Amino acid sequence: MPQYRYQMKTPGGEQTTGTLAAENALAAAQLLRSQGNTVVSLTPVGGNAAALGEKLKALNYSSGPTPRDVLNFTTQLAVMVRAGISLRAALEGIAEQTENAKFKQILFQIKQDVESGKPFSEALNKHPKLFGPLYVNMIRASEMSGQFSHMLERIAAYLTQQIETRRMVIGAMIYPVVIAVMAVGVSMFLLTFVLPKFAAVFEGKESAMPAPTIILMNLSAFMQVWWWAVLLGMFLVVLILFFLTKTEKGSYYWDLLKLRVPVFSKMFKSLYISRSLHTMGELVNAGVPMLDTLAITGEISGNQLFTRLWKGVYNSVKQGKKITAPLYKGNLLPKPVVQMISAGEESGKLGEVLDEISGFYGKQLREAIKTATSMIEPIMIIVMGSIVGFIAMAIILPIFKLSTLVS
């Protein structure tokens, strides 16, 4: 069982230190507090910490922290703060138990900044790639309101939903890509290895072969010589498209395509609406100023069209207008959604309304992903069946024709 070194104040006000065994830090803190003590610090010690240190030394070249690492950190910090452990001690304890070497280093840097007197939000803001503007602003709001542990729990719930949503969307996109790669691979195999076996059979009988067979044989002859050029060309096309999507103009058209392409358009639109309104709702409920909320919402939306929409809302609110004024002019948000946001703004319950709408679109997103996946499967089967069927037909037809001529 892990060992923890504690520093506490007894009911009589005396400062004492020692070690105890517990399943985790929360259990250790609860044990000390059940005796009427006040926990000052609680850190893991002993063989476990030493073994962990050795393990982390071997991970100097480990990959960077992932969103899952940030989620685990946030969840642990919320539990330890709620248990009455000081922020400094909680950061040290979590850092000691973190398996990712780079994230461990970042957490110790944050701990040092907190010990030097900087606010926790300011220490997090030094690592924007890990702790984005939403995370930092919600922490800053909690520092002002005094609801630190509650806000950490809200952030953890938000991160959990975003990670799960991203996993579902990527899963839906991977399926057609895998099927497409298999279709290309099967086609190339048939053209370069199977069809050449029939070339000798049809040699000198070109006048008796139907058009599909002639086309396929010519394509097979080309692929046997230039297969590497075809693969290289496909790779270059994918590479060029990838880099084009990294440009501002290319990214805009790519985002526009995602909202218009059949089958996937409903899924992507539900994703961006859910993400935008969920982010906005969390910030509004956290007490973040509206202008900051709108700026962060636009940045996190994940689509340039939605980013432009929220920038327009930001400029409108900055001029003293209502949130819904520019939303009515656009077509990205359905009119009923805009009307509900307007009602929430008028009633002063905007955060609650945004939570309800984002929850609805979260469910709609899951349904859209299931629909897209169920539609993709028969489409890809038809495509692959058509390719294989065409090749089989091109081979069988001349055989039937030659057997008829011989008879």
Could you tell me if residue 363 is left (phi over 0), alpha (psi between -120 and 50 degrees) or otherwise beta? alpha
Q: CA 109, CA 354: separation in Å to the nearest integer?
A: 36
Task: Give residue limits of the domains in the chain.
Answer: 3-131, 165-407
Residue 239 has a pLDDT of 92
The CATH number assigned to the domain with range 3-131 reads: 1.20.81
CA distance 17 to 32: 11
Measured CA to CA, the distance from residue 6 to residue 41 in angstroms comes to: 6
Among the ranges 54-58, 175-179, 224-228, 313-317, which has the highest mean pLDDT value?
313-317
> Is a pLDDT exceeding 50 seen at residue 270?
yes
With 90 as the cut, is the pLDDT of residue 236 above it?
yes
More confident residue, 67 or 199: 67
pLDDT of residue 53: 45
What is the tens place of the pLDDT at every residue in 129-165?
888 888 888 888 888 777 888 888 888 888 898 888 8
182 compared with 29, residue with greater pLDDT: 182
Please give the mean pLDDT across all residues of the chain: 81
Q: Please state the pTM of the whole predicted model.
A: 0.68
Is there a contact between 369 and 268 (Cβ–Cβ < 8 Å)? no
Can you tell me which residue has the tokens 């890509």?
177
More confident: 204 or 62: 204
Q: Which tokens in the block code for residue 236? A: 């270059």
pLDDT at 59: 40
| Mean pLDDT value of segment 325-354 | 87
Looking at residue 40, its pLDDT comes to 63
Share of the chain above pLDDT 90, in %: 3
pLDDT of residue 402: 65
pLDDT at 52 over 60: no
Of the two residues 27 and 54, the one the predictor is more confident about is 27
What does DSSP say about strands 3-9 and 38-45: parallel, antiparallel, or unpaired?
A: antiparallel
Assess whether pLDDT exceeds 70 at residue 271. yes
Quote the pLDDT of residue 327: 86
Torsion angle (degrees, nearest 10) of CA 337, 324, 303, 137: -110
Asked if the model's pLDDT at residue 215 lies above 50, the reply is: yes
Q: Give the residue-averaged pLDDT of 255-261.
A: 88
* Predicted local confidence at residue 240, as pLDDT: 92
Query: What's the pLDDT at 56?
Result: 41
Which of 145 and 221 is assigned the larger pLDDT? 221
CB 258 within 8 A of CB 265: yes
Q: Residue 47: is its pLDDT beyond 50?
A: no
State pLDDT tens for residues 350-362: 888 988 888 888 8
- Report residue 205's pLDDT band, with 50, 70 and 90 as the boundaries: low
Please provide the distance, in angstroms rounded to a whole number, between the alpha carbons at the two ends of the chain: 86
Would you tell me how many other CB atoms lie within 10 Å of the CB of residue 132? Answer: 17
Residue 63 has pLDDT above 50, yes or no: yes
Task: Compute the distance between CA of residue 9 and CA of residue 32 in angstroms, rounded to an integer.
Answer: 10
Q: Are 115 and 88 in contact (CB under 8 A)?
A: yes
Provide mean pLDDT across the span 251-273. Answer: 87
Residue recorded with tokens 């702790």: 131
For position 1, what pLDDT does the model report? Answer: 67
Rounded to an integer, the average pLDDT of 101-125 is 89
